[in-house]
A and B are shown apart, each in its own frame.
Chain A
Amino acid sequence: MPHHWIPNSSYDIRKKMLEYVGVKDVLDFFNDVPEKLILKEPLKVGYGRPLTEYEVKRVFNNVISKNKLPPIPSFIGGGVCHHYVPSVVKAILSRSEFYTAYTPYQPEIAQGLLQAFFEYQSVMAELYGVDIVNASMYNGSTAAAEAVLMSSRVTKRKKVLISKAVHPEVRDVIKTWCFGAGLEVIEVNYDVSTGETDLKDFESKLSNDVAASLIQSPNFFGVIETKMRRFIDVTHNAGALAIVYSNPIALGVFEAPGALGADIVVGDTQALGNGLNYGGPSAGVLGIKEDKELLRQLPGRLIGMTKTVDGVEKGYMMILQTREQHIRRERATSNITTNSALEAVASVVYIALLGAEGLRRLGEAILGRTEYLIRRLRSVKDIVAPLFANGLYFREVSFKVVGKDLSEVLKKLASEGIYVGPQLSRFYEELPNCSLACVTEVHTLEDIDTLVSKLSEVLGGG
């Protein structure tokens, strides 16, 4: 059955080609496949027959209309939030010279792509305050897992210290990866009054056989880790590497983790023009300070500037490929091949569009909304906000509902078009009836007022 995506499936062309090759039937090419394995029936995939483009759109629309979006932007947090994706980012990402390209193994014909990656590496290094950032990991969770594995290769130690205030799914991913690598994960408690990582617990669990520590700021509760320098210093005193996970959208306002002394920085680009997409894809940021051993163990692709062989012109190409799987195989620094190239491009377009000034203003815009949300939540009877009274918050705020079942409250809110979550008990048994709420540049004063008034309505009424 000919199909328009398969040009040579037309009867005449197929016949002509078969004649040239000298076989009667396409199935002759499969004469080395054990006969009993050849499928006799068509596969049961799709909707029983090929669909026309207008049919497939209709089918898709029927399915996708079962997804519901709230009338005002969602307040759901949990590591990813509703951020604005500028039209410019969408326009550049729809350029098919980029999105239909392969990894630039032939650099001369892929200079534009390579330059965009080089610029991504450069702006991310600037934002995170480190010297080298690779061309991306899959997302923040795998960037963190790669950083942990890398720290073990560098230090030849087998334990890692991870704060419980780090995104629970990031911790889950790290644990899975560590099962493979044979590393032990030790979790550090958080301080119930601040929501920050507990320094005392951290120090008591740190020893000179620990490869690295991982702290996230702002952490999963939305709280800024104010003792970051101290965590990094004590980690270094134990001869371990300090890995810091930060949200790039906060770094227009907050000090770069590299400047605070982190050896390895990680993060996720969802907030930088990537959209939500039900959780992915985004790009994972992985950066290091300039250090021979760290660089030798760095996973993933890296782009560098070079010259043409005649020395006349500048150009870009992939560098230090001997770390990678296609050359080093089982001794590679990682198995990563496909990364998140297009999301990395989205981030650099986004950052270029905002500039230093825009990034600072954006950070302040989010900080201001966070402050406003906390104040308004505080005014609601039966809400404890913020949950960790002495914490400083950015973008996400934890709060507790008293006297009513939070699941019911959130369901009621959702039915009124206000999406809030996730519940903290999903990840922290010890924090029942608590939730996160996230505010970003897309939320207006009226949006936040609506959230708070609906919330108090739901709590007050019956």
Chain B
Amino acid sequence: MTYRQAKWGEPIIFELSKESKQSFIIDDMFKEYANEALSKIPEDLRRKSALKIPNLSEVEVVRHFTRLTQMAYGVDVGPVPLGSCTMKYNPKVSEELANDQRVTELHPYQDEETAQGILEIMYLMQRWLAEITGTDECSLQPPAGASGEFTGALIIKKYHIDHGMHYKNEMIVPDAAHGSNPASSAMAGFKVVKIPTDSDGETDINALKAALSERTAGLMLTNPNTLGIFESKILDIADAIHERKAFLYYDGANLNGIIGVVRPGDMGFDIIHLNLHKTFAAPHGGGGPGAGVVCVKKELKEYLPTPIVDYDGRKYFFRYDLSKTIGRVSWFYGNITPIVKSFVYLASLGPAIREVAEISVLNTNYLLKKLANLKGISLIYGEGRWRKHEFVVSFDKLRKETGVNAEDVAKSLLDRGIHAPTIYFPLIVPEAHMIEVTETETLENLDLIADAYKEIVEKAYVNPEELKKAPKNTSVGRLDAIVANHPNTLAPTYKHVLARK
């Protein structure tokens, strides 16, 4: 596949136009009232200097941002095999329906009687997601996965305090975990205890048992883990955690590999967060918005953030009366747009949701087999184990033999019109590529990705210098992280750019 990304050299919005134009028209029907109101505002509270934002015509604004979109790359452009990100295709029907005026113009404080449609959607989502996870109740309030983790950690904290176990202040997190797990635990005030991964690619259960004490509040685990390997000793792990009166927390980032086949709740997880923008096909939006749902077992239901949606057989309504609630983690009721998109997705697939796991796992192992024997690539962990939603390969050997590292390989993929996978993660794998193709990638594209890797590693042994110069076919060449981060050249706004000139 030959690929050449658009390259516009588009000016920063502040430098877009020399002349001041008629910008978007706002009426002045209330001019005299405005003048009257302005005269009452104390002088020091009125804006004195005009904003330094250019006045542009509509066509200039549209062209500017359209050009910027042409210098971006999403799932609609080509494969985005980012591990643990589940970059699946975002169905257009979800987009269309979520843009319905009866969603976009709905006010969060309008009477519940006039919002029965959205409440029904929220209620069904709570039910469906409880069914998928094998839990009893869900809150749709957390606006993203990390926020769901934080919610879960706060539930654990409050439960222990309510039960007189203030001393439970340690959260156990495997070394292969997503970085947000330890970060969320720390935000909830926990001390993070790290445990290693064994050579089979699973959480080292002996190390886990050794780390357990009366101070243990919980264990945050993702299963399948970030190596794409199922934690086969999960029932033992759950027993060990529960024996210590601690909770097992499920990071749902990797649910795609098991959805409909096995449920976290059945494995013994007590609290689970889901990423609707991953597993449930709401788009990533270039980094957000997401939606992080938190589901819990009966015992913890009263701890959920309020409100949750309930149904009395006639109407849907918000419940604020959960007796032990941790409170609000975000305002209103959650990120409704992604929730609606995921509702449409689940309504469309229904029980066929199991197909998602089956094919994502098939795709993963198909591509892994194609890559596993390439020169310079190794697996490090879990030789001979089936992967689920993703797998991790190491280019450590390639780096040692040719000088070409994981980043060079990633940039070379960009040149071939393929978005790079997650690189240098998990931290326990040197020169890692963490690859997740999801169930929505075609066989042809899996072969294309495999061919691209093959061509790149072969080139590494012949002409490594060429790969060091990648990418060439993207809007810009490789960027300088030192200039970007150095205090003397740091430029997070246009004002800084001007000052540096």
Contact = CB atoms under 8 A, between A and B. Distances in A.
A141 interface: yes
Q: How large is the interface on B (under 10, 10 to 19, 20 to 34, 35 or more residues)?
A: 35 or more
A356 B21 CA distance: 11
B448 interface: no
Interface in B441-475: 441-443, 471, 474-475
A64 B283 contact: no
B410 interface: yes
A391 B495 CA distance: 36
A408 to B, nearest CB: 12
B311 to A, nearest CB: 13
Interface string B161-202: 000000000000100001110111111110010000000000
A95 B71 CA distance: 12
A133 B493 contact: yes
Contacts of A9: 355, 358-359, 439
A5 B92 CA distance: 11
Interface string A133-145: 1011011111000
Interface stretch (A272-280, A381-389, A398-406): A272-280
Contacts of B42: 226
A108 B414 CA distance: 8
Max chain A C-beta neighbours (<10 A), residue from B146, B266, B334, B346: B146
B52 A65 contact: no
Contacts of B286: 98-99, 101-104, 110, 113, 117, 341-342, 345
19 contacts: A6-B359, A29-B388, A56-B348, A67-B106, A86-B24, A110-B72, A115-B68, A117-B286, A125-B495, A131-B495, A181-B187, A253-B46, A319-B484, A330-B186, A338-B287, A365-B29, A368-B32, A371-B36, A410-B111
Nearest to B478: A309
Max chain A C-beta neighbours (<10 A), residue from B326, B362, B490: B362
Contacts of B120: 63, 66
A157 interface: no
A48 B483 CA distance: 56
Interface string A234-255: 0000000000000000011111
A8 B363 contact: yes
Contact of B27 (A104, A341, A360, A365): A365
A342 B100 CA distance: 18
Q: How large is the interface on A (under 10, 10 to 19, 20 to 34, 35 or more residues)?
A: 35 or more
A95 B6 CA distance: 15
B327 A371 contact: no
Given A276-B106, A334-B183, A353-B24, A45 B410 contact: no
B28 A361 contact: yes
A56 B26 CA distance: 39
A370 interface: yes
B403 interface: no
Given A173-B329, A228-B45, A445-B29, A111 B439 contact: no
B180 A102 contact: no
Interface in A255-310: 255-256, 260, 275-281, 301-310
Contacts of B132: 43, 45
B411 to A, nearest CB: 7
Given A63-B121, A371-B33, A338 B288 contact: yes
A109 B73 contact: yes
Given A3-B349, A51-B350, A109-B475, A276 B105 contact: yes
Given A169-B332, A173-B330, A100 B179 contact: no
Max chain B C-beta neighbours (<10 A), residue from A66, A277, A307: A277
Given A50-B350, A180-B153, A279-B108, A113 B51 contact: no
Max chain A C-beta neighbours (<10 A), residue from B61, B75, B82, B493: B493
Contacts of A53: 93, 348
B362 A319 contact: no
A392 interface: yes
Contacts of A275: 104-105
A306 B483 contact: yes
A107 interface: yes
Interface string B25-53: 11111111111111011101111101111
Nearest to B474: A108
Nearest to B327: A176
Interface stretch (A33-41, A202-210, A450-458): A33-41
Contact of B187 (A27, A110, A180, A280): A180
Contact of B74 (A101, A132, A335): A101
A180 B154 contact: yes
Given A306-B479, A445-B29, A337 B350 contact: no
Given A169-B328, A169-B332, A307 B483 contact: yes
Nearest to B351: A42
A63 B30 contact: no
A392 B41 contact: yes
Max chain A C-beta neighbours (<10 A), residue from B77, B101, B230, B348: B348
A378 interface: no
Contacts of A192: none
Interface in A418-452: 419, 421-422, 441, 444-445
B13 A348 contact: yes
Given A337-B145, A365-B34, A92 B65 contact: yes
B349 A46 contact: yes
A121 B493 contact: yes
Nearest to A349: B65
A229 interface: yes
A277 B442 CA distance: 34
Contacts of A331: 186
B47 A44 contact: no
Given A330-B183, A368-B30, A368-B31, A64 B475 contact: no
A355 B57 CA distance: 9
A159 to B, nearest CB: 16
Nearest to A136: B288
A99 B285 CA distance: 4
B356 interface: yes
B72 A414 contact: no
B310 interface: no
Max chain B C-beta neighbours (<10 A), residue from A43, A136, A252, A324: A43
A353 B57 CA distance: 7
A338 B480 CA distance: 24
Contacts of B386: 28-32
Interface string A162-176: 000001011011011
A177 B12 CA distance: 37
Max chain B C-beta neighbours (<10 A), residue from A101, A224, A315: A101
A275 B485 CA distance: 35
Nearest to B67: A112
Contacts of B336: 277-281
A340 interface: yes
Contacts of B485: 304, 319-320
B279 interface: no
A326 interface: yes
Contact of A315 (B285, B365, B479): B479
B284 interface: yes
Given A98-B285, A167-B331, A177-B187, 19 more contacts: A26-B361, A64-B97, A100-B75, A131-B493, A138-B144, A176-B154, A278-B107, A302-B492, A303-B492, A308-B477, A317-B479, A328-B179, A345-B286, A352-B54, A352-B56, A353-B56, A356-B51, A371-B34, A375-B33
B352 A3 contact: yes
Contacts of A360: 47, 50-51
Contacts of B144: 138, 336-339
B46 A254 contact: yes
Interface stretch (B239-247, B294-302, B373-381, B419-427): B419-427
B347 A59 contact: yes
B338 interface: yes
Contacts of B76: 96-97, 100
Contacts of B38: 253, 364, 367
Contact of A100 (B90, B182, B288): B90
